[in-house]
Structure 1
Amino acid sequence: MVDRRTVLRAGAGVGAVAAVGGLAGCGVFGPSDITHPPATLRAAAPDKRRLLVIEMAGGSDGLSMAVPYTDSRYRDLRRATAIAAEKVHRLDGNLGLHPALRQLAAQGVSVVPGVGTAKPDLSHFEMLHRWQAGDPEGTVRPDTGFLGRLCDHLGDPSAPAVGVALGAGASPALACAHVTTLSVDHDTGGLFPVFEDENIRDAWLAAQRAMAHPDRADTAPFAVARSGTAAALRFSDVAAKLTPAADGYPDSDLGVQLRLAARLLADDQHGLRIVHVPMGADFDTHSKHPTRYGALMSDLDASLAALRTDLAARGIADRVLIAAYSEFGRRVPDNGSDGLDHGAAGTALLLGPTNPGVFGELPSLRNLDPDDNLRATVDMSEFYATLAESWFGIPAGDVLPGRPRPIPGVVAA
């Protein structure tokens, strides 16, 4: 007997996303001093490089991730949610990582505070769109996503997938014009379909392959559907031959996503360059922020530590840049419910072959906007320009509005 959930997952476990197809900010950049910096990992040759992007949807509080522990204004504004100075993992004389980010602090991380836009919006949907599209002010409205445009520049149109998102449903961030990008159900390991009974699986697979075969009489929508199914099946054949999964990951959605991400990134035969990981966790901490955010950071810390150990064991740690961001931060004052409401500028992370430290100008807690939010000191486009230009060697103006400059000194080339 096959249950309805299995049938639905078999039909939607892997979905193809293929779409046809400048704003420079301000900031004073430079790495901070760390008392005992970890050994710096140097980046591999550009043609070997991969990118893993973690999307912390819901609005991760940058002031809890990277705490301004020496600023008295922080404690004045956050009577219920401030983190004690003696508990943070100090990055420099101004910022310290959340207490739960112990392994992250030990392994080294590049922290970019104050990332946002000059004209923020407090809507999750709007700001997620801007980040996914690479449209800082929400005025360009491109048909492709920022990661999809990177894939178009990096990838081979004949590759099974140049970019993969590990989550349910299509990822607008990977919408592209010239190559194939996919959305993969991470619970299935990228396989399509997922029936345990081999006879049912073989029959289902044969039917899917038959339906994926093109027909000259197809209407345009039907041809697109066939193409999507064919792409899913093709990628499933790749996923079936991936190297085994590693142990040591936490049993969380993020742990499962990153375990599969490592296997995909280690594959050197099928043209994959970018993996997008939309976290299923809820960063929208309007209430009980200290407890909820601590659990989120514990999961992030354990999952990233396992991933970095896995990448090193596979001999590809120098090939993979890990970037983590949220669509916005939280409001600076707490809200009276042990929580924090929607804010503006947030904090982004870069890990891997990077120079550990704090990059960019710290946002001021004494010059908030009219809604008591942080003003951005690093434009979203500058953060993205670092991924495009400093990591992949793609001119930022080719994939972003205007000609934003990358943050210098982050990538350890």
Structure 2
Amino acid sequence: MVSVNRRTVLRAGVGAGVVAAVGGVAGYQLLGASDAPRRWNPPAPIKAAALDKRRLVVIEMAGGSDGLSMLVPYADSRYRDLRRGAAIAAGQVHAIDDTLGLHPDLEGLAASGVSVIPGIGTAKPDLSHFEMLHRWHTGDPEGANRPDTGFLGRLCDHLGDPAAPAVGVSLGTGSSRALACERVTTLSVDHGNDGLFPVFDDENLRSAWLAAQRAMAHPDRTDPPLFAAARASSAAALRFSDVAATLPAAADGYPDSDLAIQLRLAARLLADDNHGLRIVHIPMGADFDTHTGHPARYALLMRELDAALAAFRTDLAARGIADRVLIAAYSEFGRRVPVNDSDGLDHGAAGTALLLGPTNPGVHGEVPSLRRLDADDNLRATVDMTEFYATLAESWFGVPASEVLPGSPHPLPGVVAA
């Protein structure tokens, strides 16, 4: 179905065998190899392509991904006290530095390099999935402005050609407010059909159906506005389907997951410059709402994310476009810091976002403190969502952040490897 539509943080140093306790952070003793975190050694970053060649893939990890499990403060005793049985041991993480490490199942990201933004959120969080997703989709951090367009849609309006079949595409079932725009075409595409609309086993049936749809999509000047919009929507869907039929072949090597199928199609779309596509939005179908059994469930989620991203980045490199594609992943909020009585984590506030591609690996922005939680035992945001979005707009695409976001947010410095 298709529808139109800074800060840099300074951290405590380490002694020969013990992480120093600074500002109340009690260190852990390196008693042996099993206790020591696995050190990552990412390769040198690839340099970003010219601005007009750059593309963006945004992965939405809906449900509320736990930032403290994705980026583990392994040297902080407060983390272990609050998380009890859900804490990840220091010896299991992929250490980025002397205090922070990636989840054990993010092996591919640790090997290939990733930029991590902890403490991302808003000064006035809401614990509702629907409200926070709306804010992320529209780029409205406090939910006060309620814009008609989405943040990604406004970027598409700045970047794209109104004559292009699609400037932005969401690979999911149903439209996404994130891509709502004013002057260009953005679409939602069922990734299970590889962008084709529709798929029939019988070629004669498909040809007849398409002929009928093309006839119905033809505009008539007597149409009332709603009918004209419906015709235009069908025409845009059919036009994009014609483009999808000519895409480069799909690559092998992807795992069998919904995210992998979405990313495999994204790679094919991004490899073809003929249709003017600049942004791909991917709503990840997995459930990050881990109120119960968090450790095991989150490990499965991280394995799925890691494997799909590894295959996608290999595909982009093989197609010669790895320097053109920035991958961003975010969740509408994080999880509460203390574990609940069901070995799970309830809705929280600040979370953790990822950026992959032509970026400088490491932690960017200020790490939130586990000793300055809010009244609900949630992490306080140290990076506003608009700063993250400003990095995508200004640092990646060269679009002034003030033209697509409220206020004048500053991008996070030093993320893009330009």
Q: Give the TM-score of the pair, scaled to structure 2.
A: 0.92
1:29 to 5, 8, 15: 8
Matched with 2:306 is: 301
Partner of 2:130: 125
For 1:85, give the aligned amino acid. Answer: A
Distance apart, 1:30 and its partner CA: 6.3
Q: Return the match for 1:261 from 254, 262, 266.
A: 266
Deviation of the 1:80 alpha carbon:
2.1
Q: Percent identity?
A: 77
Residue matched to 2:16: none
- Deviation digits for residues 347-381 of structure 1 (CA, Å, limit 9, x no counterpart): 00000000000001110000000000000000000
* Structure 1 contact 157–180 (Cα < 8 Å) conserved: yes
The letter for the 2-side match of 1:165 is: S
1:20 corresponds to: none
How many residues are treated as equivalent by the alignment?
A: 392
Q: Give the corresponding residue for 1:240.
A: 245
Aligned counterparts, 1:171-182, within 5 A = 171-182=176-187
Measured after TM superposition, the shift of residue 177 of structure 1 is 0.3
Separation (CA, whole Å) in 2 of partners of 1:360 and 1:94: 15
Shift of 1:193: 1.2
* Contact 1:16 1:180 (C-alpha < 8 Å) held by counterparts: yes
Q: Secondary structure at the match of 2:118?
A: strand
- One-letter code of the match for 1:16? V
- Residue of structure 1 in register with 2:4 after alignment: 16
The one of 55, 64, 69 aligned to 1:64: 69
Residue 86 (structure 2) aligns with: 81
Contact 2:9 2:367 in 1 (8 A): no
2:384 is the alignment partner of 1:376: no
The aligned counterpart of 2:235 is 230
Of residues 391, 397, 413, the one that matches 1:392 is 397
Q: Which has the higher contact order (CA 8 A, sep 6+)?
A: 1
Partners in 2 of 1:28 and 1:391 — Cα distance? 18
Aligned amino acid, residue 116 of structure 1: G
Q: Separation in 1 of the partners of 2:229 and 2:40?
A: 55
Report the alpha carbon displacement of residue 16 of structure 1 after superposing the two structures with TM: 1.9
Q: Does 1:310 align with 2:315?
A: yes
Secondary structure of the residue that 1:208 maps to in structure 2? helix
Alignment deviations for residues 286-333 of structure 1 (CA, whole Å, 9 cap, x no partner): 001011100000000000000000000000000000000000000000
Q: Which residue of 1 aligns with 2:60?
A: 55
Contact 1:332 1:374 in 2 (8 A): yes
Secondary structure of residue in 2 paired with 1:15: coil
Q: Please tell me the residue identity of whatever aligns with 1:312.
A: A
Q: Could you give the per-residue CA deviations for residues 100-133 of structure 1, whole angstroms, max 9, x where no partner exists?
A: 0001100000000000000000000000000000
Q: Are 1:278 and 2:283 counterparts? A: yes
Give, in angstroms, the shift of residue 36 of structure 1. 2.8
The aligned amino acid for 1:152 is D
Q: Is the Cα contact below 8 Å between 1:49 and 1:392 reproduced in 2?
A: yes
The answer to whether the 8 A contact 2:66-2:351 is kept is yes
Give the Cα–Cα distance (whole angstroms) in 2 for the partners of residues 80 and 131 of structure 1: 32
Seen in structure 2, the aligned counterparts of structure 1 residues 372 and 31 have a Cα distance that, compared at 3 Å, is closer
Q: How does 1:120-199 map to 2 (within 5 A)?
A: 120-199=125-204
Matched with 2:223 is 218
Partners of 1:72 and 1:327 in 2: CA distance: 27
**Residue 15 of structure 1, CA deviation:** 2.2
Root mean square deviation, CA, Å: 1.2
Correspondence for 1:10: none
SS in 1 for 2:192: helix
Q: Deviations over 1:188-219 (max 9, x none)?
A: 00001111100110110001000000011101
Give ranges in structure 2 of 5+ residues lacking alignment. 14-38
Distance 1:308 1:42, change over 3 A: same
Secondary structure of the 1:115 match is strand
Q: Is the 8 A contact 2:152 2:279 kept in 1?
A: yes
Instruction: Return the offset for 1:29.
Output: 2.6
Q: Does 1:343 align with 2:343?
A: no
Q: CA deviation at 1:48?
A: 0.2
Aligned equivalents of 1:216, 1:361: Cα separation in 2: 56
TM-score norm. by structure 1 comes to 0.94
Matching residue's letter, 1:151:
C
Q: Distance in 1 between matches of 2:98 and 2:274?
A: 45
- More displaced 10-residue stretch of structure 1: 35-44 or 81-90: 35-44
Structure 2 distance, partners of 1:31, 1:68, is: 14
2:131 maps to amino acid: E
Letter in 2 for 1:376: A
2:4 partner letter: A
